[in-house]
A and B are shown apart, each in its own frame.
Chain A
Amino acid sequence: MLPFHGKRRLSNAFDALRPDLYRIAWSWCHDDTLAEDLVQETCLRALERSQQLRDLDRLRPWLLRIMANLHRDHYRRRRETVTLDEGDAEMASPEPGPVEQAERSATIVMVHRAIAGLNDDQRKVLTLVDVGGFSYAEVAEALEIPLGTVMSRLSRARAQLRARLAPQQMESPRLRRVK
Chain B
Amino acid sequence: MSQRWKPGRLEEHDLHALLDGEIGNAEKVALLERLQHDDYQRNELCELRNLKEMVKTAYDDLPLPPSLQAGDDATDHSRTGYGLSWLWTTAASVLAVLAVIVGTGLERGTRPEAARMVLLDPDGKGARPALPGDEEMRIVFHVSGDDPEKSDEILHEVEEMLTTYGAQGRKLRIEIVAHGRGLAMLRQGLSTQKEKIAELSRRFPNLTFVACMNTVERLSVEEGVIVNLLPEAIPIHSGVAHVVKRQQQGWIYIQV
Contact = CB atoms under 8 A, between A and B. Distances in A.
Contact of A47 (B13, B16, B88): B88
A136 B52 CA distance: 15
Interface in A117-152: 126-127, 129-131, 135-137, 147, 151-152
A16 B129 CA distance: 29
Which secondary structure dominates where chain A touches chain B? helix
Nearest to B57: A108
Given A33-B127, A151-B16, A11 B84 contact: yes
B149 interface: no
A44 B90 contact: yes
A85 B69 CA distance: 31
Contacts of A73: 114
Contacts of B20: 129, 135-136, 154
A78 B94 CA distance: 24
B13 A111 contact: no
Nearest to B126: A33
A92 B123 CA distance: 10
B70 A23 contact: no
A85 B17 CA distance: 40
A165 interface: yes
Interface residues of B, number: 56
B51 A38 contact: no
A31 B122 CA distance: 11
A22 B129 contact: no
A14 B205 contact: no
Contacts of A31: 121, 124, 127
26 contacts: A8-B84, A11-B85, A11-B88, A18-B68, A23-B59, A23-B62, A27-B59, A31-B124, A32-B127, A33-B245, A34-B121, A37-B121, A38-B119, A44-B90, A48-B113, A74-B122, A81-B122, A84-B123, A84-B205, A97-B131, A111-B55, A131-B56, A136-B1, A158-B52, A161-B55, A162-B51
Interface of A: 7-8, 11-12, 14-16, 18-19, 22-23, 26-27, 29, 31-34, 36-41, 43-44, 47-48, 70, 73-74, 77-78, 81, 83-87, 91-92, 97-99, 107-108, 111-112, 115, 126-127, 129-131, 135-137, 147, 151-152, 154-155, 158, 161-162, 165
